[in-house]
Structure formats: C-alpha cells, structure tokens
Amino acid sequence: MKSITYGELSFQEVCKKIKEYTSKDLQGTYVISIGTDSQSYNGLTKMVSVITLVRKSKGGIFFYDIKKLKMIKDLRQKIFAETQYSLELAAKVMEFVEKNEIHATLEVHVDIGEGGDTKYLVKEIAGWVGALGFKCCIKPESYASTGIADKLSKRGSRVG
C-alpha cells in the first residue's frame, strides 16, 4: 500500500499507523472507510482501493493500493469487482481492529447511487456488504470510493 504522507507501506505497517493514529486521542470518534474505484483505459482497468481513517472534526489520513487488471468493460462486473476488493480489504482491517481493540466504526464505501447507471445495483450490493457485517455507504456518502479512490484512479493522476 501507499500513503502520500508515509510512502510505500506493507499492510502491517498501515495497521500500525492506524493504531498510532487512534492512540493519540482515546476520546476521539474514529471512522475507518474502505472504498474502491476504477477507470479503464489503454486496455487495462486501474483499480484503486483506499483505507481512510477519520477522526471526526479533526481530520484524517488515507492509504491506497493500485492494481492494474485486464480491462473490465461491463459496468455491473466492474462494480462487483470494486466491491469485492473493498470487502477483502475491509475483512483484513476488521480483523486487525478487533484484535487490537481499536474503537472505530468501519464502513465500506461503494461507487453506486440511487441515480444514474448504477441505481439498479443498490439493493444487491448493499445487501451483499451488509450480509458480511459492514455498514454500506453509497453516493453521496461514499467519499472513500467516489472521492479519494476516484481521483487516484483517473488518467493523469500523479500516483501510479
């Protein structure tokens, strides 16, 4: 994984940063959000997954991972792939959070919404995420996927 602040990090190092960050203010309210967005160009799909850690009203940090895959052309397939990456990452983060007794809400942010081309996927995707025990956030609340990951996945983004 990578961080604009800390550079290249292993997943274990990301977890260590999460623990350090949440230890600074034990009275703070923390939200860990995980989201993925992708863009297809040049025959590939650039899949960007993000872990954000927000201390409400006090800012936050984020970490990201980029995968380049064979081009995914179908919108439904692309949304399912994004959600799968987010859920896999969320499961790993949840395991760490529970093991280390970190008090934070965990959310999975999905790049779908009640309007537009993805409205027919909302029930199915939200049901899938919820069935695995995660809070599902969709547009406009899904800032990890629709804001941060989206910006990093765009062609011309300064990140790999």
- Whether the CB-CB separation of 34 and 49 falls below 8 Å is answered with yes
Predicted pLDDT at 73 = 93
Query: What domains sit in the chain, N to C, each tagged with a CATH number?
Result: 2-155 (3.30.420)
Predicted pLDDT at 158 = 67
The 3-state DSSP class for residue 77 equals helix
pLDDT range class, residue 160, cuts 50, 70, 90: low
Which pairs with CB-CB distance under 8 Å and at least 24 residues apart come from 6-13? 6/63, 9/63, 11/92
Mean pLDDT, to the nearest integer, of 5-32?
95
Please provide the DSSP assignment of 15-61 as one string: HHHHHHHHHS-TTS-EEEEEEEEEEEETTEEEEEEEEEEEETTS-EE
Predicted pLDDT at 159 = 63
Per residue in 85-134, pLDDT (tens digit) is: 999 999 999 999 999 999 999 999 999 999 999 999 999 999 999 999 99
Predicted pLDDT at 157 = 72
pTM for this model (two decimals): 0.94
Per residue in 65-92, pLDDT (tens digit) is: 999 999 999 999 999 999 999 999 999 9
- CB count within 10 Å of CB 116 equals 9
Widest pairwise Cα distance in the chain: 48
- The CA distance from 74 to 79, in Å, is 9
